Amino acid sequence: ATVVSLFLLHEGATPSRGWPFVFALVSLGVLVCHRLALWRVILHWRRQGRLVQRIAVVGVNDFSATFLERLAGQDGTFAVTGVYDDRQSRIPAHLRHIHVRGGVADLMAASRQERIDMLVVALPLVAADRINEVLSQLSSLVADVFLTTDVAGMRYVGAQFTAIGANPVVSVGERPIKDWQAVKKALFDRLVGGAVLVAALPVLAAAALLIKLDSPGPVLFRQPRVGFDNRMFSIFKFRTMHVGMTDLLADRQTTRDDPRITRVGRWLRKYSVDELPQLFNVLLGNMSVVGPRPHAPNTKAANKLFADVVGQYAVRHRVKPGITGWAQVNGWRGETRTEEQLWQRVRYDLDYIQDWSLGLDVKILVLTVLREIRSTTAF
């Protein structure tokens, strides 16, 4: 590339011998400046604690005590947010000095208030049932999960063995979308969400005007939904029901001929126009363009809360919820009356989380657009 550039610059004339040296010096200067700038950014982030790996430990025993002692000399790299144990009455006397923040339920609650990067389960292998129970409870948390225990004699693939500081651990679960994958998905959301929002502005304006003309009340409807990392957020939708008949917590699912829906609202729901304000949620960062659909806290199937029907339901919250998703383009959208319908939705959502890629997001977007076009044409 350098030789081609030199010949292009001199337009066929014999290039000066000094050009390669100038090019090398300039390249070296740019590289050094880039590395110095990057070093300053990393140093600034370290001072802010942004690069510190925050760890929560489950279990108080000799394994966790050894783990904590070895981490003590890793200042600036790891920070233990707390130690948790459901069986505090069984803690050995020589380990009573370890401060316990609570049980696993308290860890679940803490994860919604603070950042936790790693979960370390410190339990002996003879407590296999308890390990599986704890791992099941932690399955919906957005963190990498490791096991520190008596690993002698166990068979694991090489990639599962790793270390946290000086502690050998076994990786038993990773965040589904992290590091550069998370950066790429965030950029994809902002670019696609912003572009679609600009393109849909005329539709948004027309829908807002029709809502105001059709019935009294606000144009937008804000509803609490369970989102990323099991945290609540307010979702934006166009109001499709009469004021005073809205159901914030979704104690009663909306049916096809629901009398609470306005005339304009019925049309907005038919063509999914009521979902367009969720593009603002995407730009705010609490939703993605593509992901599992978020539900209100009291949504039910067959008169049972979703989490009571499907044990792995909360695992969907390990990624940001989306405006459209893999379950929706495979026909599982609208009402969820039966347990079978919910099982199918969750199955497709978990498949999406496991197989995520930008290519899959693009495929889902294309299928969503084609579905809406078919719906409009049928009308």
Residue 112 predicted with pLDDT over 50 = yes
Q: Mapped to the 3 state alphabet, what secondary structure does the chain carry?
A: CHHHHHHHHHCCCCCCCHHHHHHHHHHHHHHHHHHHHHHHHHHHHHHHCCCCEEEEEECCCHHHHHHHHHHCCCCCCEEEEEEECCCHHHCCHHHCCCCEEECHHHHHHHHCCCCCCEEEECCCHHHHHHHHHHHHHHCCCCCEEEECCCCCCCCCCHHHEEEECCEEEEEEECCCCCCHHHHHHHHHHHHHHHHHHHHCHHHHHHHHHHHHHHCCCCCEEEEEEECHHHCEEEEEEECCECCCCCCCCCCCCCCCCCCCECHHHHHHHHCCHHHCCHHHHHHHCCCEEECCCCCCCCCEECCEEHHHHCCCHHHHHHCCCEEECHHHHCCCCCCCCCHHHHHHHHHHHHHHHHHCCHHHHHHHHHHHHHHHHHHHHHC
> Mean pLDDT throughout 246-273?
82
Residue 363 predicted with pLDDT over 80 = yes
> Mean pLDDT throughout 28-51?
74
pLDDT band at 302 (very low <50, low <70, confident <90, very high): confident
> Mean pLDDT throughout 124-144?
88
Residue 35 predicted with pLDDT over 90 = no
Identify which of 48-52, 85-89, 162-166, 275-279 has the greatest average pLDDT. 275-279
Q: What is the pLDDT of residue 200?
A: 94
Q: What is the pLDDT of residue 301?
A: 87
Kindly report, residue by residue over 187-201, the tens digit of the pLDDT: 999 999 999 999 999
Residue 324 predicted with pLDDT over 50 = yes
**Burial environment of residue 19 by CB neighbours within 10 A (0 to 12, 13 to 18, 19 or more):** middle
Mean pLDDT of the chain: 85
Kindly report, residue by residue over 215-255, the tens digit of the pLDDT: 999 999 999 999 998 899 999 999 999 988 877 777 777 77
| Phi, psi angle pair for 54, to nearest 5° | -90, 125
**Burial environment of residue 38 by CB neighbours within 10 A (0 to 12, 13 to 18, 19 or more):** exposed
Q: What is the pLDDT of residue 17?
A: 61
Q: What is the pLDDT of residue 317?
A: 93
Residue 329 predicted with pLDDT over 60 = yes
Choose between 359 and 126: higher pLDDT.
359
Q: What is the pLDDT of residue 18?
A: 67
Q: What is the pLDDT of residue 19?
A: 65
> Mean pLDDT throughout 67-94?
85
Choose between 143 and 249: higher pLDDT.
143
Q: What is the pLDDT of residue 56?
A: 94
Residue 172 predicted with pLDDT over 50 = yes
Q: What is the pLDDT of residue 173?
A: 84
Choose between 123 and 323: higher pLDDT.
323
pLDDT band at 153 (very low <50, low <70, confident <90, very high): very low
pLDDT band at 207 (very low <50, low <70, confident <90, very high): very high
pLDDT band at 87 (very low <50, low <70, confident <90, very high): confident
- Does the pTM surpass 0.85? The reply is no
> Mean pLDDT throughout 84-113?
90
Choose between 151 and 37: higher pLDDT.
37
Q: What is the pLDDT of residue 50?
A: 65
